[in-house]
Amino acid sequence: MKLHKESKGTITVATLLFAVIAALAIYFLEMWSLLIIVPLLVIYGLVFWFFRVPNRDILDHKENVIAPVDGKVVMIKEVDETEFLKEKAIQVSIFMSPLNVHICRFPVSGNVIYKKYHPGKYLVAWHEKSSTDNERTTVAVESMTHHKVVFRQIAGYVARRIVFYCNEGDAAKAGHEFGFIKFGSRMDIFLPLDTEIICKIGDKTKGGIDVIARMQE
């Protein structure tokens, strides 16, 4: 199983903690140490599972908006996007549990025209105000259909580390990685009002694969 590059620090710490606690349990508890070691081993395995990088065949897309993350669609509504678009847009929000793959992918192909990091709070990721109050990043891409699409990584109550690798002027390719969020979190996508929304609330998405919307040229 391939692991994401963001796993190195977390797995190093988890390995040291597991080794120390297991050694202490064996020393002090002897035959009863398995009561400690087995649950720890499960948690240790989940850390590796969280940072997995699945093999996915990413296709080329022009009009399609691709799910940027694995997760569950929790919101589809018309909102005012006040940071970059400064106009009404359709917001599609996808919530990621700690068990989901947390690679963040470009939802559309085009060119990166804006990026910004915002420090903030750590409300639970499904809270509506987390989109504007939580620690977050905002990226905007001018798509190949000449639309401006904004998407936002949002930290949650558990997730407290967001990374994004793109810069203004970079080429964006739908379905390809641009960042990562550690543990439970959310991704918001802001689309033009005339976008055809294909997904619905409650849908489970597979990042880089599922088409969630389609924009007109």
- Catalytic residue numbers, as ranges: 185
Quote helix, strand, coil % in the chain, to nearest 5: 20, 35, 40
**Smallest Cα–Cα separation from 64: which of 106, 103, 111?**
106
Q: CA–CA distance from 150 to each of 63, 131, 170 (Å)?
A: 15, 12, 15
- 3-state helix/strand/coil string of 173-202: CCCCEEEEECCCEEEEEEECCCCEECCCCC
The residues facing 40 across adjacent strands are none
